[in-house]
Structure formats: C-alpha cells, structure tokens
Chains A and B, each alone.
Chain A
C-alpha cells in the first residue's frame, strides 16, 4: 500500500466547536511519522477533542463543528468522498478507561478484522497471536483466549484494547490517557509498549501526566483552553520552554 510508511497527519488552522462553544482554537501541527507525540494540558483544555478530530470520532457528538484542514498523507480526511470506516482502519484508538467488549479475548482481537470481510480461521489465529504479542499480552493470556476480556486486570484489559486496535493494522494509534486508570506497574508496561510500537506506527498520546509525556514522547504539544501554546521536541519543551505559560504548567504553577 502506498503511504503505508508515510502516515503523516497534518492539522492546519483547526477550530472545533460544540454548538456555540469553541474548544479548539486555530490549531496547526504536523504529527511526525513513527514517533510518539504527546498532547499535554490541564483538564478541559481540549486534548481529547483534538485527538478525536484525527479519527473523526467527534462526528458522533451532536452539535460538533470543525473548521480548518486535517489531512493524512495529503488527503483531507473531512473531504466529501472520504470513507470514515476505511479511515478508522488506518487510525486506531485506545480510550481512557479500558473498554474490552464483553466477549472472549480471542473475539475482542478478531472483532476489527472480521468487520472488514471474510478471513479464514487460520489467518485469524495468526493475527490474534501477532497482535497480542505486539501488545505484550500474549504470554499472559495464551492459555485462556476463550475466557472473557472482562476477567482480565485493568492493565491487561488496556493491553487487550491495544491488541484489538493493532489487529486491524493501523498506521497511527491514538491513545487518550491510556494509563490514567492504571497502577504504576501497569502504567510502566503500557509506556514500554508504546516505545516498541513506534517502530511500526505513529503514536499520539494524550496525557495530563507530564512525567509520562517526558518519558515516552519525541514531541510534545501543550494545549491550554483550546489553544496550542507550544509544540516542540519533548526535551526542549520540558527544559527550555519558549512560552511563559508552558513554563508555568510544567513547573506545576498551573492546575
């Protein structure tokens, strides 16, 4: 597939409204391919909204309106002819609270691939193992693929959700505070995992945990009240922020 290695996402002058309320204000940024970009900022600053603009999950919210351009490999993803289903196959998403389906581990992983046409059982088996290995969950669940995804621990559930996303072989993985509901050990596992994943795909992680952003990301975007205050190489943003507000936020002078 052309562009498989590219997966460049660009936002140009993006504004997002929920009815009258503008929650994203003229944001422009380019997500580097096969790197981890962190979006940080206080609660309510629009991080989730911005993330959901990339796979058009905001489309499901009544009264949402978006201005500006979001493009993937040069193609406007809000264009008239865009197939949202196909778009979401290329852009996976992991949510704040682990949300495995009340189905078996196996069926959770095969859910996505099965949506998009017939696949043989052998191919599915291969895909399940590959995805669970990629999500560093295989060894823990390989003997109980038929037990419910809900029977796993929180951290395992989140890795199952990651495996479920990976099974459709996306080029981009969006993660909305994927570790905020997890304990430190489970969080560390997810962070390790992200570092491995970026060998194959582009990762965007929303987090309000600045240490986490500093640990895992290559670039960081600081969002405040819907405004992109600063977007830079992570190390630079955390050691030598250009904007006073960034400095205040990372040094904890802001909520």
Chain B
C-alpha cells in the first residue's frame, strides 16, 4: 500500500478515535448529572437555575434558541448561498468568479468574534429599528449574522457539486433547444441536488456549533423564547458563558457537560446525515 494511502487511513482512524473519545469524555463527565435526573425534564423543562436552592438544570430554552437561530441562518443563507454557487459555477466570467470566490474565502477567515462585533454594533441596532424592538440583541439578529458566516462553506461545497455534473448533460439540454436558464434549473441543479443537500447540512452543522457570535448578538435570556425577535441563548452560548464559573464537579458543571453531550449528538447527527447523502449520491452515480 502506498505511504500516502496509509497516511489517509491513519488520519481517518485518528478522527474516528477522537470522535469516540470526545463522546466518551462528555458522557463520563455528564454521567453524575444523568444519574440524578434520569428523566426527560432535562430537555423539556424551562428552568435553568444553577444557583437556586435546590438548583434546576433544564435546557429546553437553549435547545429551542439553537433551533430558531439556526433556522433563520439557514432560511436566509441557503437561497443566497445556492444562488451564489450557481452563479460561480455557471454564470460569472472566470475572472469575476475568482474575485467572488476569494471574497468568500476572506469571509471564511474572519474570526467569529469580529462577526459578533459587527452584529452587536450594526445588525442589532438595525434590526431593532426596522422591527421596532426595545433591543436588537435577538435571535433574529444572530441568525442574520450566522447566515453570512455559513456562506463560505455552503457556496464552495455547492459549487463543487454543480461543477461535478457532467458537461454532457448540459450539452444534451442545449441541443434539445433549452435556454441557459432552463438547462441550469432543469438539468444541472437537479443533478447536483445530493451534493447541494450535503452542503446545506454541513452549513447547518456549522450554524449549530457557532458560539462566539451568538453569545455576543443573540442576547441572554435563559428561558424558552416566545418569538425569534426575543433575546435568547443557545446551547453553545450557555456552555461558553457558564463553564468557567462552574465549580469543578459541581452539579452545574456536570449539567453543562450534559448540555454539551446533547449538542454533540445533534451536530453529529447532522454531519452524519450529510455524509450519508454524499456517499449515497456517489453510489448511485457510478452504478
């Protein structure tokens, strides 16, 4: 076996082992919590009161916030991302494409704390004004910022999927008298839909995991938000903001690990689904 191949396989196993190790670590650290709260109220209840007597650790509000903010990011980001990918793959002249692509690459390199800052100073006040809110630090504002942050991943993966569509399909379409738009919408995009779906799933995974931006922009209410225009806190923001204050091996400490385990399971499921879509699509094409 060539060395290169050995390295790739070694890297693959390392990642697999690491993933399992992280899961085991999270499970182990949150075990004391689950041992005491062996019911579903952890994810269905709304009371996160770490310093009350007795304390209560329920994460429904954070779960809902994570889903709402991710939802906004995806609803805004996906149409934009897919259209950008189509433009890059099919419409823009090569030179313009190069510029646009490097803009996305630069976006990908901006630290999330900078995005948080822009959200805090620009997006949040703007959202407050447009929607007449007391504060712009809401889930919606965070979703708007996240929708931009997920674009680089989304666009580059979706573009790759579109470019992988055999040119012969487009040629056949043109030869039948299709216009460019008809060819794009009826042949190229449908042929790439597996790859585009995977790109969207990976972008969702990225949005769920984003921490600093939502911590800065989404506000900090700990209970289940009534609307997307409420302040809210995601699972990631919860963990990031409290873990440094939780005494080691305290009830709060274990509860935060339990929240981390939930987050891990969700993102793992999304990414696994993306991988399944990619592998499934490849299998069909080669048959």
Residues of A within 8 A of B (CB): 55, 57, 60, 85-89, 92-93, 95, 97, 99-103, 111-112, 115-116, 150-151, 161, 164-165, 168
Contact = CB atoms under 8 A, between A and B. Distances in A.
B169 A101 contact: yes
Interface residues of B, number: 19
B98 interface: no
17 contacts: A55-B175, A60-B174, A88-B175, A88-B177, A92-B175, A92-B176, A93-B175, A95-B168, A97-B168, A99-B172, A101-B191, A103-B190, A112-B177, A150-B285, A151-B287, A164-B176, A165-B175
B134 interface: no
B178 interface: yes
Contacts of A55: 175
Contact of A150 (B171, B187, B287): B287
Contacts, number: 64
Q: Dominant SS at the A interface?
A: helix
B186 interface: yes
Given A99-B166, A101-B187, A111-B186, A164 B287 contact: no
Contact of B177 (A60, A89, A97, A99): A89
A88 B177 CA distance: 5
B176 A57 contact: no
A100 B172 CA distance: 8
Which of B168, B171, B176, B187 has the most A CB atoms < 10 Å from its CB?
B176
Nearest to A151: B287
B173 A111 contact: yes
A92 B174 CA distance: 10
Contact of A168 (B166, B177, B190): B177
Given A93-B175, A150-B287, 5 more contacts: A86-B177, A88-B177, A101-B169, A115-B177, A115-B186
B182 interface: yes
Given A111-B173, A111-B186, A150-B287, A99 B168 contact: yes
Interface string B270-285: 0000000000000001
B179 interface: yes
A164 B168 CA distance: 14
Given A102-B191, A102-B285, A150-B287, A168 B174 contact: no
A86 to B, nearest CB: 7
A165 B172 CA distance: 9
Interface in B152-181: 166, 168-169, 171-179
A125 B168 CA distance: 26
Contacts of B190: 102-103
Contact of A88 (B168, B169, B174, B187): B174
A58 to B, nearest CB: 11
B287 to A, nearest CB: 7
Nearest to A87: B177
Nearest to A148: B284
Nearest to A102: B191
Nearest to B285: A102
Contacts of B174: 57, 60, 88
A57 B175 contact: yes
A19 B261 CA distance: 60
B61 to A, nearest CB: 44
Contacts of B171: 57, 60, 95, 99
Nearest to B94: A62
Contact of A111 (B166, B176, B191, B287): B176
B191 to A, nearest CB: 5
Contacts of A116: 177
B91 to A, nearest CB: 14
